[in-house]
Amino acid sequence: MEQSLTSKFPIEFIKELQNHFGEKIAEKTLKALSDTSSVSIRINPLKPIEGFSTDTPIPWSKNGHLLKDRPFFSLDPHFHAGCYYVQDSSSMILETLLNKLKPERDGLYLDACAAPGGKSTVLLDYLNNEGFLLSNEVDGKRNSILREIILKWGRLNVGVTSLPTRKFIDLNCAFDLILVDAPCSGEGMFRKDKFALTQWSEKLVQNCAITQKTILNELTPTLKQGGILIYSTCTMNREENEYQIQKLIESGDFEIKEVDLSDYQEHLIEAKIGEKTIGHYLLPGTSTGEGLFISVLRKKTPSENEDYSTKRIQTSFNPPNEGFENLYPQIPKDLVYWELKEELFAVKNHSFIEHLAIPLKMAGLPFYQMKGKNVIPLHGMAMANLGLTSIELDKENSLQYLRKETISLPQNSPKGWALVGFQNKSLGWIKIIDQRSNNYYPSWLRLRN
Ligand code: SAM
């Protein structure tokens, strides 16, 4: 192997890569890790846009595109409208796995390590307004990034929590699907995240493996019999991947759920225990994106909370201020309103969690704020893509709006609340008073460049 390559990476890392995948793939991977990363996006099917259709499609993601260059995303109003998410192409394999596995959509899903939120958006697209997703991120700062992504993605059948994994068993529910996209040593990210490379050590790998085992052990009792566990990492060593899966199988609780990914075999490397395929790798150099390991298992044994489904109750909640949806007749009637700090959040399929004492950071999206007798529409309603009509802004005006600056309005715009949008995609609310308007774009999301 070229010395220019070996000098860039820790020798123990190179050795494991060679032992694991063989000389040829190890060399290809190291070469790619010395190169630059690709840029890819996944379009939100709730808010389809055309602009990226000329870029290279990603075979395993219907809405994924590999871009030629990295645009200045923050100067694209559609980025702020939640029309797409900048996501590594490897992570998009989750879309194909779900479409092949076809887990029941009418179920309770958990994304246990969710921030910044890319894989939660894939799960929400798969659910397509059915079922309910709990998107969890234990780290406080990262949890607020997760909430921003969920807010912009615009789905209402989702709750955000910030719990350590040991707490899930106390929620008295059982999940139909759990995704553990585990914290890891990040070897697959070495070219994108130079910090990961400087932090790497064999000790880190061992510590990550301990954390991963703990997370899996704590979550196992909360998965229903027959439920699906998807385990993934962005690292490439056996300690954090194959050996974790091996322990799950040896526990007697799980079996491998095989998924036919032969259509994509030129981009994938099978992960094996002995002769048995237990998952797949997408590696830099072999595939377009960063390194990713992913494996799917089926739970054979019951959850401690197995009878959760029978405890579920159909909700018969009324909005606390009945009748105010009449302001916006397009708003679906089957939503439940949940109050947090004087804001009303609209939630879909609330019956999945209604009877549970879940410390939610957010459930559904913020729709209204009551100020005395006045009702103020909130950003979640703008992001939920309910077909509310909007005032079209050009790009310059859109960016001014996103910066919370004054915008110019079409002449004779009617007074009152209005949504503003760019190329038919809602950006947020304004209130028109005579010929000027107040900008209600949330301050915490304000564009700063
Ligand atoms: N799934 C995310 C996505 O697709 O955008 C990426 C998740 S990242 C690989 C792993 C996450 O696990 C991090 O956000 C990290 O804060 C969180 N984490 C770290 N330690 C954890 C622990 N002990 N239990 C649960 N989550 C943890």
The enclosing domain of 436 has a CATH number of: 2.30.130.10
Q: Which atom of ligand 1 is nearest to the CA of 139?
A: 16
Residue in 138, 232, 244 to alter for ligand 1 test, most ligand atoms within 8 A of Cβ: 138
Asked whether residue 398 is assigned to any structural domain, the reply reads: yes
Ligand 1 centroid to residue 162 C-alpha, Å: 11
Give the tokens for residue 47.
Answer: 């808010």
Asked whether residue 439 is assigned to any structural domain, the reply reads: yes
Average pLDDT per run of 10 along the chain, which is 449 residues long? 84 97 97 95 96 86 94 96 98 98 97 98 98 98 98 98 97 96 97 93 98 98 98 98 98 98 97 97 97 98 88 58 63 85 90 89 93 88 89 96 94 89 96 91 95
Asked whether residue 422 is assigned to any structural domain, the reply reads: yes
Q: How many CA atoms lie within 13 A of 90 on its CB side?
A: 27
Atom 18 of ligand 1 has which residue's CA nearest to it? 183
Whether the pTM exceeds 0.85: the reply is yes
Atom 26 of ligand 1 has which residue's CA nearest to it? 113
End-to-end CA distance of the chain: 45
pLDDT of residue 372: 80
pLDDT of residue 338: 85
pLDDT of residue 198: 94
Residue in 41, 85, 87, 113 to alter for ligand 1 test, most ligand atoms within 8 A of Cβ: 113
Which structural domain, as residue segments, surrounds residue 417? Answer: 389-445
Q: What stretches of 323-391 show up as alpha helix (H) in DSSP?
A: 379-383
Asked whether residue 412 is assigned to any structural domain, the reply reads: yes
Question: Under a CB-based contact definition with an 8 Å cutoff, are residues 403 and 447 in contact?
Answer: yes
Using CB distances shorter than 6 Å, the residues near ligand 1 are 91, 113-119, 137-139, 142, 165, 181, 183, 211, 215, 234
pLDDT of residue 311: 73
Q: State the total domains in the chain.
A: 1
Annotated catalytic residue within 113, 173, 184, 234:
234
Ligand 1 centroid to residue 275 C-alpha, Å: 31
Ligand 1 centroid to residue 165 C-alpha, Å: 11
Atom 20 of ligand 1 has which residue's CA nearest to it? 183
Q: At what angle do helices 11-21 and 23-33 cross, to 10 degrees?
A: 130
Asked whether residue 38 is assigned to any structural domain, the reply reads: no
Question: Under a CB-based contact definition with an 8 Å cutoff, are residues 154 and 383 in contact?
Answer: yes
**Catalytic site includes residue 83:** no
Q: Which atom of ligand 1 is nearest to the CA of 116?
A: 5
Q: Which atom of ligand 1 is nearest to the CA of 117?
A: 5
Asked whether residue 150 is assigned to any structural domain, the reply reads: no
Q: Which atom of ligand 1 is nearest to the CA of 119?
A: 4
Ligand 1 centroid to residue 112 C-alpha, Å: 8
Atom 25 of ligand 1 has which residue's CA nearest to it? 113
Is residue 107 exposed (0-12), middle (13-18) or buried (19+ Cβ within 10 Å)? buried
pLDDT of residue 319: 52
Asked whether residue 358 is assigned to any structural domain, the reply reads: no
Asked whether residue 400 is assigned to any structural domain, the reply reads: yes
pLDDT in tens, 397-433: 999 999 999 999 988 888 889 999 999 999 999 999 9
Annotate 114-179 with three-state secondary structure. Answer: CCCCHHHHHHHHHHCCCCEEEEECCCHHHHHHHHHHHHHHCCCCEEEECCCHHHHHHHCCCEEEEE
Residues 327-341 as b or e (16 or more Cβ within 10 Å = b): eeeebeeebbbbeee
pLDDT of residue 332: 86
Ligand 1 centroid to residue 161 C-alpha, Å: 13
